[in-house]
């Protein structure tokens, strides 16, 4: 095999890559490393603007596989129309579960226990005591129960929760319990103390969290978003935050990055982290393992993992 493979990680830094392909390093530089028309396997640069990752796709007339290093694929979907039929789009299932699960738990605990208030008080030398909500005995609703949603529940398990409810696009049963369809959200939301969003961004989930969704949440509930910013209608969320009825912890926002003067920064009861669910020390080892496995499968003509869609199908 002499096809080109474009990698956003220098190939010499990835131990175990199969022999055969011509490995080209490209992480978004202005100049392409080779002719895009000769690329057969394209790994999209990670944590780059969507337009940058999409830029070579119209010229990749021979590409067979597009591999993201993110769990979501919404940042490349607009350019798939330029690709020939039969191209497999694969995501990074297995790479981000640990980091995103950790951050989700961090955001929940920090919000409930008032950690941002303590940090501000420390800056002023103030001893800020008093009772705070605990995660123990709370009811949690996970909206989006793929591998990341399941990893979040794994990390919630030791916290003596009263209940965990799970919602996904399709109804099913797991070892931990039933997964409810999205249509049951109006009945589940009023019971949840913490609502976690870990769903992919699709046409069905864009602004899923709108005024009606938020109105179903109980007073004092915490909304946590580790999915995509556009899953939430920001204007509707702002109205609820400013009324003081609910609180929120957001790793993703719409727009993103959040402009300096955006009112969400100053809304009461909100904790914002700058989309850091995935980029941790856990990322590179898992990303490299995924790429070695996928490329070994590709070279040996074995079925690929994590195929989300095939163009023209």
Active site residues: 228, 256, 275
Q: How far is CA 52 from the centre of its chain?
A: 19
Report how far residue 124's alpha carbon sits from residue 131's, in angstroms, rounded to the nearest whole number.
20
Report how far residue 50's alpha carbon sits from residue 12's, in angstroms, rounded to the nearest whole number.
26
- Bridge partners (DSSP) of residue 232 are 209
DSSP string, 206-226: TT-B-HHHHHHSPTT-EEEE-
The DSSP output letter for 250 is: E
In contact, 252 and 228? CB cutoff 8 Å: yes
DSSP string, 32-95: -SS-GGGEEEEEPPTTS-HHHHHTTGGG-TT--EEE-SSS--TTTGGGGGGSPTTPEEE--TTT
CB atoms within 10 A of CB 153: 22
Report how far residue 30's alpha carbon sits from residue 262's, in angstroms, rounded to the nearest whole number.
31
Q: What is residue 11's three-state secondary structure?
A: helix
Of the chain, the end-to-end C-alpha distance in Å amounts to 26
Mode of pairing for the β-strands spanning 88-90 and 307-310? antiparallel
DSSP string, 161-186: -SEEEEEESS-EEETTEEEEEGGGHH
């Amino acid at each position: 095999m002499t096809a080109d493979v474009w990698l956003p990680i220098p190939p010499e830094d990835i131990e175990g890559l199969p022999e055969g392909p011509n490995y080209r390093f490209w992480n978004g530089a202005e100049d392409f490393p080779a002719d895009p028309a000769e690329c057969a396997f394209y790994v999209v640069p990670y944590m780059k603007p969507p337009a940058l990752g999409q830029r070579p796709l119209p010229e990749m007339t021979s590409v067979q596989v597009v591999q993201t290093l993110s769990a979501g694929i919404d940042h490349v979907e607009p350019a798939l129309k330029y690709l020939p039929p039969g191209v497999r789009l694969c995501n990074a299932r297995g790479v981000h579960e640990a980091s995103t699960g950790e951050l989700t738990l961090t955001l929940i605990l920090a919000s409930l226990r008032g950690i941002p208030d303590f940090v501000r008080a420390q800056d002023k030398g103030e001893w800020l005591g008093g009772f705070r909500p605990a995660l123990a005995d709370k009811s949690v609703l996970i909206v989006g129960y793929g591998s990341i949603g399941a990893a979040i529940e794994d990390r919630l398990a030791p916290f003596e929760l009263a209940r965990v409810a799970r919602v996904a696009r399709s109804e099913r049963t797991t070892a931990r319990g039933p997964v409810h369809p999205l249509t049951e959200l109006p009945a589940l939301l009023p019971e949840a103390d913490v609502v976690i969003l870990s769903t992919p961004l699709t046409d069905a989930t864009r602004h899923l969290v709108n005024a009606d969704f938020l109105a179903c949440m109980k007073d004092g509930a915490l909304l946590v978003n580790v999915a995509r910013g556009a899953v939430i209608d920001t204007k509707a969320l702002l109205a609820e935050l400013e009324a003081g009825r609910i609180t929120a912890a957001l790793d993703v926002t719409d727009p993103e990055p959040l402009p300096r003067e955006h009112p969400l920064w100053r809304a009461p009861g909100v904790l914002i982290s700058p989309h850091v669910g995935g980029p941790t020390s856990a990322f590179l080892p898992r990303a490299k393992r995924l790429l070695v496995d996928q490329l070994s499968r590709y070279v040996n003509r074995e079925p690929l993992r994590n195929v989300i869609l095939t163009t023209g199908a």
